[in-house]
Amino acid sequence: MKKRVLIVVFVLAPLLSVMAGTPFVSLGEANFLWPFEVVPPDEYAKAPVISIFSPENNTVFNRDNIVLSFKVDLGESETDLEMEFVRYETDWQHDNLDHFLLLKSSSFAHKVNLTGIPEGTHSIAFQAIESGTYKKRSFNINSSETIYFTIDTSPETKIPEFPSWTILPIFTIATLLIIICKHKHYPKQATQQRIVGD
């Protein structure tokens, strides 16, 4: 009987303590095998820099494929930083998320041809996470970017172009025609005025 009471007490005591709001030590701090406490980044650490070379933001393409090219560099910091994770996600490929787990890397570059993109406006979201340590404390910094582009493969109605070199000859011909017309018109008026004067 005493054993049952002790078991019930040992089981109920932590549950009642949680319900009463007694704080517990976090697993990260209590685990002696994990020496780093996760903290916010120090004031000198900067977020990773995502550079997107292709496609350019707000571009319209008349084909259903694009070349995706981007690079991620570590942010500036006075502490040691490492690239941990890079990923990109397209809005038209809901089940396809390309991510890259990196260890002890300072930069990452990727280039791929994306095909079969449906008509309409689309987006590609990028995310990069870097980590660092100082005074046996670990921190993470993430950065994100999103670009937008449009796929429009409908045939274009081409407006005939007017070459700029034709402007001068047309202007010259029009001027000559006006001069000739006025020259022919004025002699008749002069003759009519003489007849009326006589």
Query: What are the DSSP calls for 131-191, one per residue?
Result: EEEETTEEEEEEEEEEEEEEE--SPP-PPPP--GGGHHHHHHHHHHHHHHHHHHHHHHHHH
The reported pTM is 0.58
Query: What is the spatial distance between Cα 92 and Cα 121, in angstroms, rounded to a whole number?
Result: 10
Q: Are 111 and 67 in contact (CB under 8 A)?
A: yes
Taking 70 as the pLDDT cut, the residues of the chain under it are 1-39, 42, 95-97, 103-104, 134-135, 156-162, 183, 185-198
Number of separate helices (H) and strands (E) present in the chain: 3, 9
- pLDDT at residue 175, as a whole number: 82
Q: Token match 């001068």: residue?
A: 168
Per-residue pLDDT tens over the stretch 110-149: 999 999 999 999 999 999 998 887 667 788 889 999 999 9
Q: Which residues pair with 145 in a beta bridge?
A: 126
Q: Token match 């490929």: residue?
A: 93
- pLDDT at residue 150, as a whole number: 96
CATH of segment(s) 36-151: 2.60.40.10
Ranges of each domain in the chain: 36-151
**Cis status, amide bond into 55, omega within 30 of 0:** yes
